[in-house]
Amino acid sequence: MYDYPNGQPDNGFDPQTGSPQTRPQQNGPGPIPGQPPYQGGYGPNGGRPPVNAPRYVAVQEPGGTVWVPVDANSGGRLRLSPERQSACTREIFLAGLLFGGAFLLYLLLRYVFILPLNLNDAFYNLYMNDVNVMYLFDTLFTLVCVGVPFLIAYLLLGAKRLPPRREIPLGAPRSGLEAALLAVGGVGVCLAVSVAVNYVMLFAEAFGFSFSSAEMMTESFPLPEGAFGIFLFLLRTAVMPAFVEELAFRGVILQTLRRYGDWFAIVVTAILFGLTHGNMTQTPFALAAGVMMGYAAVVTGSLRASIAMHLLNNGVSCLSQLIVGNADSVTAAALSAILVYGLMLAGLVCIVVYCVRNKAAFRLRPGDYPFARRKARWFFLAPTMLIAVIIFLIEIVSDVSYAAPDISSYLYG
């Protein structure tokens, strides 16, 4: 799996794993379980490695800790044989091919799903005028269009030449406190990004740019009525996206890509999560949210943390809409500001506490293929992934329009 100087393992080390082989004690008490080679006085030099011995780093694999040699002459990268590099490249390319196919299926299902709205005026009017029908239709849309493609992708993982299927971590997080800190902190970061994007868009609008997605979001849609209506509203806006999207992105995609590095998996998944939102209003926000939710899922070892963050974030959006729809404009603005800026402050406090508790908070597992640009290139240049990304980018660009501003009012009052 890994190559060694002169084609031989160093000083009695397993050529496949890099871990010390069992052998008679030599001038030391023997290897310490869970420690790297040459610790604890192990070896002929009383624990001192040979001059040309490689440095080792711990890589967490499903079977336990594996000590992997690091090449000091290549920026600290793992020593991978050409065969292993080729195998990793092929796996990353096939992962891009598989997930790109899932996104294309998502786009196809999305088109098929909204076809009745475009072809049947009676159904369109029912959808627009009956809030319960709207919420039920949108809930089913998320479940089918997002859930089905990535369920198929998950079932295909592990097939011939495809990356292995990893278990989706749905158990309890390693630390409930840290999961809570990250959930609140992540929501605070997402809200801060959302506020910043709104200011940038207002600035752009002053120069003649307009965003159709922003105009749609300011339109008044019917609010839920009664307990059942509120239940459907929360199910459609908060609950269903939180569970289905997290299982698809932080479950299927991120867990598969973690094999090639945690930060690689987090960033790639966040980029895809942002692109799928398909407009300039939501994409930057979704990108930041994707990074925070991916990080929470990785460091806590559970999707419960990212689901909680997603659920809380969408729940804040639901609460804001209910406030705006049921209060006068002054009261609604005041309550919304208290909610948003209060959560931003709480999120900042939670992130500071989390970082104080975890000195190496952002040092994650590098994976067994450390070439970042090469990984990204092979993943995104897989034909199906490339086509899907181009379609998403076209949607985002088409959300923006430009009309030269009338400056006469500025010049002549």
Is 89 a member of any domain? no
**Together in a domain, 106 and 12:** no
**Together in a domain, 296 and 239:** yes
**Together in a domain, 57 and 168:** no
Is 407 a member of any domain? no
**Together in a domain, 49 and 125:** no
Mean confidence (pLDDT) of the chain: 79
Is 190 a member of any domain? yes
Beta partners for residue 20, in sequence order: 13
Confidence of residue 294 (pLDDT cuts 50, 70, 90): very high
**Together in a domain, 120 and 68:** no
Would the pLDDT of 349 be above 50?
Answer: yes
Is 369 a member of any domain? no
**Together in a domain, 311 and 268:** yes
Is 193 a member of any domain? yes
Number of structural domains the chain divides into = 2
Is 85 a member of any domain? no
**Together in a domain, 232 and 322:** yes
Rounded average pLDDT over 111-140: 89
pLDDT of residue 107: 95
Residue 261 structure tokens: 């590095």
Rounded average pLDDT over 64-79: 48
Instruction: State how far the Cα of 350 lies from the Cα of 186, in Å rounded to an integer.
Output: 9
Is 412 a member of any domain? no
**Together in a domain, 60 and 176:** no
Is 95 a member of any domain? no
Calculate what percentage of the chain has a pLDDT beyond 90. 43
pLDDT, tens only, 263-284 = 999 999 999 999 999 888 889 9
Interhelix angle 226-234/131-141, rounded to 10 degrees, is 30
pLDDT of residue 61: 45
- 178-187, 254-263, 321-330: which range is least confident on average? 321-330
Of 19, 45, 80, the residue at which a domain comes to its end is 80
**Together in a domain, 278 and 390:** yes
**Together in a domain, 17 and 151:** no
Looking at per-residue pLDDT, the higher value among 311 and 376 belongs to: 311
**Together in a domain, 76 and 118:** no
Would the pLDDT of 359 be above 90?
Answer: no
pLDDT of residue 287: 94
Containing structural domain, residue 111: 101-361+374-401
**Together in a domain, 281 and 164:** yes
